[in-house]
Amino acid sequence: MRFKLYVIAAGILFGTTGTAQAFAPATASSLSIGSARLGFGGLLLAAVGLAVFLAKHRTAENEPAQPSLAPLERMKLAWPALVALLLGACSVMGYQATFFAGTRANGVAVGTVLAIGSSPMFAGLFEWIVLKVRPTLLWLVLTLVGIGGVYLLSATGITPERFDPLGVAASLGAGASYAAYTVCMRVLLERGWESLQAVSAMLGIGAILAFGVLASTDTSWLTQVRGIAVISWLAVVTVVVTYILNARGLSGTSAAMTATLTLAEPATASTLGIVILHESIGLPGIAGMALVVGSVLGLGLGASSAPAREQA
């Protein structure tokens, strides 16, 4: 149960991203904010992971030596993990680019519902293919309920003329990117990586990619007080804290379950939009929020789609 709570908490914190961006300086583009968020946040997370690793290494030096694996066995363990690490880092950066491209083409509401709503299905599919884990009927039903809720949350912003095929493809790419990240994380955890070790390494590599993209954008907003405040929240809270919680949750739940529980994000974003930004979602939005909350609670109290095991 606590692993699911980690994921839900991560989704709630991640749901503050849109509200935080609303307070950024006008010169800050979505791509610039997203790249800075991943760049600085990923760098901080990599530093945290390295500090913890060095501390454990110093402790291990005082303990009796353990027999090491043969070179061939180490290679068998290392190569799949390396591939998962690199693909996961590319997926995190790919999410930034495709998500913002989708919202730019079709609007925030449509882009968000397509990206977040499609990620659980992609995660279930990828996990089935890569890890041979078949999602349960409970997961499928409650995922569909949650996706329906996300659709209702965004229904007021969906109009036929706003559908740009390339934008739709980009948003679906964002959903697939997040799903790929969760599956890559699961691969690392299945191979004995600790959750903090895996997420700090993956986002550390993603940060390198993000800084390359950030360099091509207007970064003058980062010198302003509001810009510094916004990026501090986004980097520390919605990357460092959120991804640690998400990774910790993944150590005890399946990738498909994690992606579905993350549907807590749009419900949080909508709530903050009403309370802080004074947005109106109407009755469809309220009904959608209820469905999302019901879906997440149902999965939180129900059985996981895969046997859960905690990493040390």
Is the Cβ–Cβ distance between 248 and 3 less than 8 Å?
yes
Mean pLDDT score across all residues of the chain: 78
The lowest-confidence range among 55-69, 161-175, 184-198, 255-269 is 55-69
**Higher pLDDT residue, 267 or 171?**
171
The CA distances from residue 284 to 145, 216, 222, in Å, are 14, 40, 38
Establish if 199 belongs to a structural domain: yes
Establish if 132 belongs to a structural domain: yes
Mean pLDDT of 206-212: 94
pLDDT of residue 158 exceeding 80? no
Instruction: Count how many domains the chain has.
Output: 1
Q: If you write DSSP's letter for every residue of the chain in order, what string do you get?
A: -HHHHHHHHHHHHHTTHHHHHHTS-TT--HHHHHHHHHHHHHHHHHHHHHHHHHHHHHHHHTSPPPPPPPHHHHHHHHHHHHHHHHHHHHHHHHHHHHHHHHHHHH-HHHHHHHHHHHHHHHHHHHHHHHH--PPPHHHHHHHHHHHHHHHHHHGGG--GGG--HHHHHHHHHHHHHHHHHHHHHHHHHHTT--HHHHHHHHHHHHHHHHHHHHTTS--GGGGSHHHHHHHHHHHIIIIIIHHHHHHHHHTTS-HHHHHHHTTHHHHHHHHHHHHTS----HHHHHHHHHHHHHHHHHHHHS--SS------
Is the Cβ–Cβ distance between 81 and 221 less than 8 Å?
no
* pLDDT more than 70, % of the chain: 74
- For 278-309, the pLDDT digits (tens) are 656 567 767 776 777 677 667 656 544 443 34
pTM, two decimals, is 0.76
pLDDT of residue 76 exceeding 50? no
* Per-residue pLDDT, 217: 92
Establish if 309 belongs to a structural domain: no
Establish if 257 belongs to a structural domain: yes
Establish if 262 belongs to a structural domain: yes
- How many CA atoms does the CB half-sphere of 274 hold within 13 Å? 13
Domain residues for the domain of 245 are 2-23+31-53+75-301
Establish if 58 belongs to a structural domain: no
Establish if 191 belongs to a structural domain: yes
107: left (phi > 0), else alpha (psi -120 to 50), else beta? left
> Which residues fall within 8 angstroms of residue 190, CB to CB, at 6 or more apart?
131
Question: How far is it, in rounded angstroms, from Cα 56 to Cα 90?
Answer: 28
The CA distances from residue 228 to 172, 178, 220, 224, in Å, are 31, 26, 11, 6
